[in-house]
Amino acid sequence: MVDIPDIGHKVQIEVNGHNGKTSHEGIILHPASKGHLTIKLVNGYNASYPIDDIESLTVVGKMAEKESPDYSQVEFKQGLPRVRIIHTGGTIASKVDYKTGAVIAKFEPEELVSTIPELGEIANIDAVKLGNMFSDDIRPQHWNKMIDATQQAFSDGCDGVVITHGTDTLHITSAAMCFAWSGDGKAPPGPIALVGSQRSSDRGSSDAAENLISAVYWAANGPKPMAIRGDTAVVVMHASSHDGTCAVQPGTGVRKLHTSRRDAFRNVNSQPLAYIDLEDGGPKIIIEDSYQLARDSSSNEISQSPRKYSTDVRIAQFIAGPYLHEEEIESIVANGPQAIVIHGTGLGHLPIDDSGKDAPENTKVWRVLTRCVNRNIPVVITSQCLNGPIDMNVYSKGRKQQEMGLLGHGSVATPDTTVVKIHWALSNDKDVGKIISMNLCGENHNVLLE
């Protein structure tokens, strides 16, 4: 059995495993399991082998402890637009911790900018650090900080803003920014682009650089938002698994639909607004015809005072199906939520009928939801299908739900956007029953384009 050096050493190993003899070079990480050696390969992936299968191991280097370099601001260039990067964290700002093998947020904003010199040819960049959070940890109070930071950026004379953000809840934050700036139909002073990456920046397959270049280019050169089609705060990410093109997605009509693909963000009941072409001498903006037509027939009033979100608002969410019961709903309602969202099946249906007289649970669900409506708690229905409208006119059950006072009929907004819209309404003394079917800033565009 070979002797295993300490974590952080760079080694060359010869392995005789079930696939025959192989050779690898990488950096030793904390072992993935007992009796194994785990190394970080040059391509960024981890490989683990039983120690008994390792025929030889040679130490070829040790990770040196480096001091953080002194990154300076990008040099100001006369005539270029001014873009502020608001840094919140996420994989786009992450490296590998060689003690654990985990991806951790550790890039400072200046480092993020300085490592991609192309940014200096697009705009005059400055960066503000709000935090180094993974997006799972972001809550409404962080949205409010981003709202303040975007407002300050425009007050300081920036032409556009980029928010770097973890991907898992990026689409929720983009919806929050859209309603904050444009829930009243007004538009922000300039483009706001949210951007992340599916692969950390130190990996050869990283999408971080192209995504950030594209987001900055949109913030610097994109058309002024019109508070239509979800253009207030867009999501800029890879358009496919290949390099070369990034999609500019509406902030209220996009969702992360894959855990790891670089083109994880796809439209729901909407279309991309534009693409950033990074090939053939790019970057350049290619605006989609449908978005351009909508712009040509719209006018925009500029908002100087975006609205914020109350951190006291509580919205309960449930999944329709065989496990939805009265007791769970009633116990949550006892804690005082201001609204309830139920992710219904198909066109937006709930288990509330007992036609065979063998499912009393369904009748109880009908009763508890009726009580919620009678208590003036808005109950809004979305769909687990994601794509397609909520249509409670097709089946008798849907009409029964409307008679109960359940909301959501006609909506094409994504479930996450719907929840954020309700939160915005409750935070700003809006009537949820009135606004849920309205199209405030592109979230409920009623022409479904395929």
Model confidence over 157-167: pLDDT tens digits?
999 999 999 89
pLDDT of 144 > 50? The answer is yes
Give me the mean pLDDT over the 249-278 stretch. Answer: 94
Lowest-pLDDT range, 7-21, 134-148, 273-287?
Answer: 7-21
Q: Which residues contact 34 (CB under 8 A, 6 or more apart)?
A: none
Catalytic residue among 126, 159, 168, 184: 168
At residue 149, the pLDDT reads: 97
At residue 337, the pLDDT reads: 97
Model confidence over 201-251: pLDDT tens digits?
656 567 888 999 999 999 999 999 999 999 999 999 999 988 899 999 999
At residue 73, the pLDDT reads: 53
Domains of the chain: 9-62 (2.30.30.520), 82-296 (3.40.50.1170), 315-435 (3.40.50.40)
256 is catalytic: yes
Lowest-pLDDT range, 43-52, 72-81, 329-338, 371-380?
Answer: 72-81
Percent of the chain beyond pLDDT 90?
68
- The pLDDT confidence band at residue 97, using thresholds 50, 70 and 90, is low
Q: Which residue has the higher pLDDT, 253 or 446?
A: 253
145 is catalytic: no
pLDDT of 449 > 50? The answer is no
Q: Which residue has the higher pLDDT, 129 or 145?
A: 145
Give me the mean pLDDT over the 376-396 stretch. Answer: 96
91 is catalytic: yes
Catalytic residue among 38, 88, 91, 232: 91
Catalytic residue among 88, 164, 167, 232: 167
- The pLDDT confidence band at residue 48, using thresholds 50, 70 and 90, is confident
167 is catalytic: yes
Q: Which residue has the higher pLDDT, 243 or 73?
A: 243
pLDDT of 450 > 60? The answer is no
Catalytic residue among 256, 308, 364, 421: 256
